[in-house]
Amino acid sequence: MSKVYIYTGLVVLAMASTLLLLYYAPTIACKEVTMIKLPIQSIDDVRLLFPTSPKEIQHRAHCAMERAREAINDIIALDDAERNFNNTALAFDRIAALSELPVTMSAIEIIEYVHPDQAMREAAHKTQIAMREFIVDMISNNHDVYQSFKAYTLQKKEQLRPDQKYFLQETMADFKRAGLDLTPDKLEQVKTLHKALAALGMQFETNIATDNKTITVTREALAGLDEDFIKTLSRTETGEYILGTDYPTYFYVIENADDAQTRKNFFIAMNNRGYPDNEHILKNIIAKRDELAQLIGFSSYAHLDLDSEMAKNPEVVEKFLKTLYAKASKKADQEYALFKQHLPKLVQLTAEGKLYPWDVAYVKNLYKKQHLAVDEKRISEYFPMEHTIKGLLAIYEKFFQLRFEQIPATNFWHQDVQLIAARSALDDTLLGYLLLDLYPRPNKYNHACHATLVPAIVDEHGKPLPEVSLVIANFPKSTADKPSLLKRDDVRTFFHEFGHAMHGLLGRTRLASQSGTSVKRDFVEMPSQMLEEWLWDKEILKMVSSHYKTGEQLPDDLIENIKKLKHFDSGDWTQRQIYLASFALALFGPGADKNPHALQEHYCQTLRPHVLFWPEDHMYTSFGHLTGYASRYYGYLWSKVFALDLFGYIKEHGLLDPEVGHRYVQEVIGRGGSRDPNALLKDFLGRGPNDQAFLADLGL
């Protein structure tokens, strides 16, 4: 891998400028370029979303930008007296969220995440830089567009719907947070910073995805691991076994390998993906984000970042985390006292009585086996991938009144891709297409996520237009002897990401910018976290389980043992989430010059007192949320409060009750980002949300 230094942003931007000259070259005739078809009508239209060559990536991007430029200029050119919601606000919404520009950009971003061909990934990466520069100049930081909106809002001639008023309110606030009230010279500085940050963020993510670190071990060092797993491993010329840092391999080894040195070496490899390149990039991102916040008038990037969220500012988040930490710590103390009381013979504590970080998952796993009769390997035998998918789809079909049809997926980027058509069970209306890319491979995005390509909207006649989205995961592949078997955590991940897909599919709004998951970032995880809770229910576990040999559902005794895990390590889990949230918040707090490693050490030692901080741990270089969520990582805990409150209400009425599902869609996820989340929650619950269910769920 090529080295990336602090000046990378400048180099990449120089490359982007060259690329833009190529894109705007008059030799490209857009009428001759194959473009996407909207609205989506068929599977062929879904295939057409994805360019199939580097040249096509470039040409499509060029034409999408040129058409968007023309449409934006049409908005700007209007006489202010002629402005109305449709020709100004709605026109901008369609350009920004439902035109060739955002759809093409999403498709190109996905190509970089998942395409097996290096030339395609590189073309996608370079093209995104150009497109993000274009978006800064023409959409997010376009002073003339802001003036057009401002002129329209001052007229107040129309009677607007609540969602239209909310769109104007949020969009104008976004424009001001983008610095569009600044003097021209300062606005140019803001634009330059946004462009540089976009390039740096992309490089940060690319370095994670392409860092295919491995360790090699002897056969003896694999003691405790299943023979079937060992057979799947590649070997060196000298016969040693190769362990790659994909998630299925890592979690299996770190939980089950008896050899402490194997666990240690693997922990260090996993937590140093992207290091040292991404450390330099992250420091640059921190400095530029701080400079950006100062220019716009905020005391820190965290204050700017949270200004649009439910929490509003870092002080509210800090109070939330501090209050929760006090409660979680008592539970964590009890958990670690229990673990130490039953410490495996192969595990040694530090001189201060702490666990080494590579021993934590191993100790927990052994305790579950020996004292709770929970063997995760045995449980995974009840979750073969194919049956689990069918079970999950059946649950969502019933609760959301949907019908899913699995369709042969050919001529996509990889043979592993699966395709599902989603229809209304009531009138068979096509609601959208869901793509699944679920198995690991080299240079593929190595976490799990959901991405929307075409947002779900209803047209002016109330007719739903089909949505398209993708779920990416990295689950173990089938072997010659066994189908792909999912661990409980894999099943939970699947439920979580498919929950985002349901939010995207059913969050059908009139304005594309408010569709689906386009909600406040500290609320976006709520629907997925709420659906994860289904997996603690006996009936649901029966529906999604089927032993890969016998077809038997999870037996009652095993389900009861699984339920014991509900509060098993909730204290430590909460402490870890608070540690990550506090670390992310601190990185983007006041000040441009930060030492990420020192901050990581501080927050780890302060907030995870039972686990030793290891100096070779640079996990922040592979902490992808730092570019996307930035200081808003707290959102996972924040939104879980609402998720558990809603889940408790739904469970009272029936987890598979389609009437409750209909209300949930109509009053919560079906509204997308068209209303404040607090109002959505109050509509559904009949009261304001509270944290009682959250604290009870954690056993606090």
In a domain, 449, yes or no: yes
Q: Rounded mean pLDDT of 276-298?
A: 98
In a domain, 102, yes or no: yes
Q: Rounded mean pLDDT of 510-534?
A: 96
Is the same domain home to 28 and 166? Answer: yes
- Indicate if the pLDDT at residue 3 is higher than 70: no
Residue 527 three-state SS:
helix
126 — pLDDT class (breaks 50, 70, 90):
very high
Round to whole Å and give the CA distance between 485 and 491. Answer: 10
Residue 224 three-state SS:
coil
Q: Which of 584, 600, 635 is the last residue of a domain?
A: 635
What is the chain's mean pLDDT, rounded?
Answer: 93
Please report, for the domain that includes residue 516, its CATH number: 1.10.1370.40
Read off the pLDDT of residues 395-442 as tens digits, 9 standing for 90 and up.
Answer: 999 999 999 999 999 999 999 999 999 999 999 999 999 999 999 998
Q: How many CB atoms lie within 10 A of CB 219?
A: 11
Q: Contact, 292 vs 383, CB < 8 A?
A: no
Read off the pLDDT of residues 224-254 as tens digits, 9 standing for 90 and up.
Answer: 999 989 999 999 999 999 999 999 899 999 9
Q: How many CA atoms lie within 13 A of 615 on its CB side?
A: 0
Residue 690's closest CA among 699, 698, 678?
A: 678
In a domain, 485, yes or no: yes
Is the same domain home to 324 and 361? Answer: yes
Round to whole Å and give the CA distance between 121 and 128. Answer: 11
Which amino acid is present at 587?
A: L
Cα Rg of the chain (Å, integer): 25
**What confidence score (pLDDT) does residue 445 get?**
92
In a domain, 664, yes or no: yes
Read off the pLDDT of residues 471-506 as tens digits, 9 standing for 90 and up.
Answer: 999 999 898 888 999 999 999 999 999 999 999 999
DSSP for 296-332 reads HT-SSHHHHHHTTSSS-SHHHHHHHHHHHHHHHHHHH
In a domain, 286, yes or no: no
- Out of 7-21, 81-95, 670-684, pick the least confident: 7-21
First to last CA, the chain: 46
- Indicate if the pLDDT at residue 283 is higher than 90: yes
Is the same domain home to 563 and 575? Answer: no
Q: Which of 190, 208, 226 is the last residue of a domain?
A: 208
In a domain, 24, yes or no: yes
Active-site annotation, residues: 497
In a domain, 135, yes or no: yes
Q: Rounded mean pLDDT of 146-164?
A: 92
Residues of the domain holding 547 = 385-567+654-697
Is the same domain home to 42 and 162? Answer: yes
Please report, for the domain that includes residue 59, its CATH number: 1.20.1050.40
**What confidence score (pLDDT) does residue 27 get?**
52
Is the same domain home to 45 and 148? Answer: yes
Q: How many CB atoms lie within 10 A of CB 268?
A: 17
Is the same domain home to 527 and 625? Answer: no
Q: Rounded mean pLDDT of 553-565?
A: 94
Is the same domain home to 60 and 85? Answer: yes
Is the same domain home to 228 and 344? Answer: no
Does this model's pTM top 0.85? yes
Is the same domain home to 80 and 189? Answer: yes
In a domain, 285, yes or no: no
Read off the pLDDT of residues 593-626 as tens digits, 9 standing for 90 and up.
Answer: 999 999 999 999 999 999 999 999 999 999 999 9
36 — pLDDT class (breaks 50, 70, 90):
confident
**What confidence score (pLDDT) does residue 10 get?**
29
Q: Which of 208, 233, 258 is the last residue of a domain?
A: 208
Is the same domain home to 264 and 361? Answer: no
Q: What is the dihedral of CA 356, 362, 365, 371, to 10 degrees?
A: -70
Q: Contact, 668 vs 684, CB < 8 A?
A: yes
Is the same domain home to 398 and 409? Answer: yes
**What confidence score (pLDDT) does residue 15 get?**
30
- Indicate if the pLDDT at residue 13 is higher than 50: no
117 — pLDDT class (breaks 50, 70, 90):
very high
Is the same domain home to 112 and 189? Answer: yes
**What confidence score (pLDDT) does residue 7 get?**
25
Read off the pLDDT of residues 78-106 as tens digits, 9 standing for 90 and up.
Answer: 999 999 999 999 999 999 999 999 999 99
Q: Rounded mean pLDDT of 306-312?
A: 97
Tally of domains in the chain = 4
**What confidence score (pLDDT) does residue 54 get?**
98
Please report, for the domain that includes residue 582, its CATH number: 1.10.1370.10
Residue 498's closest CA among 423, 416, 454, 436?
A: 436
Round to whole Å and give the CA distance between 276 and 400. Answer: 46
Q: Rounded mean pLDDT of 510-523?
A: 97
